[in-house]
Structure 1
């Protein structure tokens, strides 16, 4: 059951594509509710939250840099990573692995 919830936690960021801010709220709620019930969920929650905060930072930097064209490439890269990383994280979590997203700043340790 821990692996299932860890996978759901990683994939819950996609809720933001359906309902604004749900991609931020859903992972936080799942993490806070399940971390005391299931061992191993805490680390996955921290990984996902670190990625969300890092992604927000990269998008802001990309928007600022888009004034000098370079930012467009930053935004494209951030968009691709925003899709690929949660999928890979979800698959690895379902396999019982802990995968730290590349380019993710560790705000929570």
Structure 2
């Protein structure tokens, strides 16, 4: 029994036409934040999460447009997370520790959200899709 031609679904076409090398670099821009946070977690509380995206953006911004966009997005998101975390540290310090009642649950929420959104962004970038993080300050234009 043969399948009629109208019921055959053609494979999805790649409409974004982002080269594989750019997709890989863009994915690494997002994932480098995880590495930066891991490396700096024992000394700086994970504040170096923006260093990897910054380095990739500075190196590839002129030669790869997709990487320029995604590394800038990763950089802005990780700067936003670092600022939010720093604000909670200051809140805790100026309230002599009472602010920890708010800060500790917020750190957990921010940390889990940061991890999930970073992985989602890396997967989307690897697929050639321009990902936009929610709740991000656009500091680098």
TM-score norm. by structure 1 comes to 0.87
Residue from 5, 18, 30 that aligns with 2:56: 30
Work out whether residues 7 and 93 of structure 1, in 8 Å CA contact, stay in contact via their aligned partners in 2. yes
Work out whether residues 29 and 70 of structure 2, in 8 Å CA contact, stay in contact via their aligned partners in 1. yes
Q: Tell me the C-alpha RMSD between the 2 structures.
A: 1.8
Q: Provide the C-alpha distance between the structure 1 equivalents of 2:120 and 2:36, rounded to a whole number of angstroms.
A: 18
Greater RCO between the two (CA within 8 Å, min separation 6)?
1
1:83 aligns with 2:115: yes
Q: What CA deviation, in whole Å up to 9, does each residue of 1:15-68 have, x standing for no partner?
A: 124422653322211111112121211111211111111101111222315633
Q: Provide the C-alpha distance between the structure 2 equivalents of 1:94 and 1:107, rounded to a whole number of angstroms.
A: 24
Is the partner of 2:98 in helix, strand or coil?
A: helix
Q: Provide the C-alpha distance between the structure 1 equivalents of 2:58 and 2:69, rounded to a whole number of angstroms.
A: 12
1:67 aligns with 2:98: yes
| Stretches of structure 1 lacking an aligned partner (at least 5 in a row) | none
**Count of residue pairs the alignment pairs up:** 109
Q: Provide the C-alpha distance between the structure 2 equivalents of 1:22 and 1:106, rounded to a whole number of angstroms.
A: 18
1:15-26 alignment, distance < 5 Å: 15-20=35-40, 23-26=49-52
Tell me which residue corresponds to 1:107.
139
From the two aligned structures, give the one with the greater helix fraction.
1
Tell me which residue corresponds to 2:25.
5
Q: Provide the C-alpha distance between the structure 2 equivalents of 1:108 and 1:36, rounded to a whole number of angstroms.
A: 15
| Stretches of structure 2 lacking an aligned partner (at least 5 in a row) | 1-20, 41-46
